[in-house]
Structure 1
């Protein structure tokens, strides 16, 4: 089983916090889509005839594409790879792009899951982030989307300088009231070279407060678990049966192919990433050459990646997998983990090691301490 990720590197405008690869000009959109379709042919052997179980249109803003462009990509994928009949096909969409006409066209294209970038239900926060939609659009178009799609996830951001705990609760309560089956909730990070980074350096915005972020994350876990959501990965919560199959495949170490500029791929042995430049990507693909860099993973790197990704999940580190796939016995991992058990950051069962609620605040740091 495998997944395919398609990076659509176009946005209407730049969100101040974003450091993903995108362009705000659509002038070479047609050329890029044509190159992406050519890349599918060039990459036809990458997945070694594995069945494609998930397809994910990310970005950027894939909802900017016309239905015919989305359809051309999915048709090409289906002609080159074996795509499961019940494949999960996700489209990232911004609220301001959602219309009745587009929703119908996405359904006809085969899209069966929407990931909607809400971020906040407050106008002042959306303006501070430089989002293209307003709070009313977020609510109205979510309700419209629910008439056409059952499988919907939304993104929310916490830990912004102006977000009080009361406002954060109202954001989460709105998602619960709208009966959204899946939420991805992220602490704001300040990435170098982003407009937000410059705003903070120039004292035009307050910096983030890590203590407030931790408090809002703890509150988030409490509120969503009380509302019946599973906290199945550090940043992801779902009603039972509504987990993201595509993202879950990343955390389980399954193979995936990334298409488009800046897209990453993994085949079990190495990681590849395409060039993060639209013009150079188009130029190279048109010459029949995939413009990528590659890192071949050592056995230790694979082990540490398993520790990092699995510890972030509800199921945790599986001791049987640790032994059968990596040759690491229970005593070896427990010697590293025991210092986190007494302070209540890790819990150890017969078959797994998992993070406690407090441990989830320090997930990446704890994982690094368990590395070999």
Structure 2
């Protein structure tokens, strides 16, 4: 099985914390859809005939596309790859785009999962972040998706935002739980260089939360969502039983995927490639039949390190038998030797061949993963 990621780079406005590739040049949408469909067609052989199981429209803001745009992309995917084996098709959306009319339109298309970027239910913080919606619009958008018939809804939250307090974060989580969505992703804010928010940090107009607060927020996140019946299946992701993101899980399980659009990454098991992060360069290179991209061949050490980093992030952990089969005796022994101190202090556990983080280990996961990596 394999996945397809479709990058839609268009945004009405840019959020001040975001460093994903995006553009506000909406006048190029039609030209972009044509180029995107051409790339999908020309890269048919990349997945080596594997059946497509998941399709994910990410961004940017995919909910900036029209019905006709979506139809053109779906038509191309159906013709080139087929969709008989597809079980999950996700659309990332902004709450304010999900009007009743737009949501009803989406239900006429193959989408069966909506991933909504809410971030917080605090209106003042939403305004600071330059988000286009408020808390009421976010809540109403979830209700409209449910009324339209979507049975798989995910929302994104961010914690550690400027001015974050234990009380405000707890209120965000209680509001999220009350919406009864199937999936919640929650990420700690990162001040990415070259973003307006990073500049504000440098100018001391906002300040980062301290480390103790970050740990408290994360602990509250786990406790609140676990008590509400969500499985903590990946460090930043929680779901009702069985409702994990199939597409994102494929990234963590080393499954091949094709990424189309500017800045989109692809992976075929032995190499990784990524398209140029420029809409103009992407359009011109695809239109000339010479897609601009870079490729990295993955050696054994790199593949082992990625296996550790991605696998340990999840509740399934890593299979030591599979590790030995994939990477040989030397790296298998190295991994178990490096894991030994953490197995002894209760931050890792090994049961039925699966090496996994414990609750205590999740809080220091970066350090554990770092120690299990093989460095030259």
Question: Do both proteins adopt the same fold according to a TM-score greater than 0.5, normalized to the shorter chain?
Answer: yes
Q: Which deviates further from its counterpart, 153-162 or 100-109?
A: 100-109
Deviations 1:241-276 (A, max 9, x none): 211000011111000000000000001110000000
- Matched residue, 1:71: 71
- Matched residue, 1:239: 240
User: Equivalent residue of 1:307, what SS?
Assistant: helix
Deviation of 1:85 after TM superposition, in Å, equals: 4.5
- Matched residue, 2:173: 172
Deviations 1:198-251 (A, max 9, x none): 001111111232321121011111111111111001110000121100001111
Deviation of 1:104 after TM superposition, in Å, equals: 1.7
Q: Distance in 2 between matches of 1:210 and 1:12?
A: 34
Q: Which deviates further from its counterpart, 321-330 or 240-249?
A: 321-330
Structure 2-normalised TM-score?
A: 0.96
Q: Distance in 2 between matches of 1:73 and 1:354?
A: 39
Native 8 Å contact 1:50 1:82 kept in 2: no
- Matched residue, 2:327: 326
Q: Distance in 2 between matches of 1:218 and 1:279?
A: 44
* 1:99-248 matched pairs, under 5 angstroms: 99-148=99-148, 149-248=150-249
* 1:285-304 matched pairs, under 5 angstroms: 285-304=286-305
Q: 1:355 aligns with which of 354, 357, 361?
A: 357
Q: Distance in 2 between matches of 1:198 and 1:215?
A: 26
Deviations 1:300-338 (A, max 9, x none): 111111111000000112111111222247643221012
Q: 1:364 aligns with which of 363, 366, 370?
A: 366
Would the alpha carbon gap of residues 190 and 328 (structure 1) be closer, same or farther in structure 2, given more than 3 Å must change? farther
RMSD between superposed Cα atoms in Å: 1.3
Deviation of 1:162 after TM superposition, in Å, equals: 1.1
- What stretches of structure 2 of length at least 5 have no aligned partner? none
- Matched residue, 1:91: 91
- Matched residue, 2:314: 313
- Matched residue, 1:276: 277
- What stretches of structure 1 of length at least 5 have no aligned partner? none
User: Equivalent residue of 2:363, what SS?
Assistant: helix
- Matched residue, 1:22: 22
Q: Which deviates further from its counterpart, 324-333 or 92-101?
A: 324-333
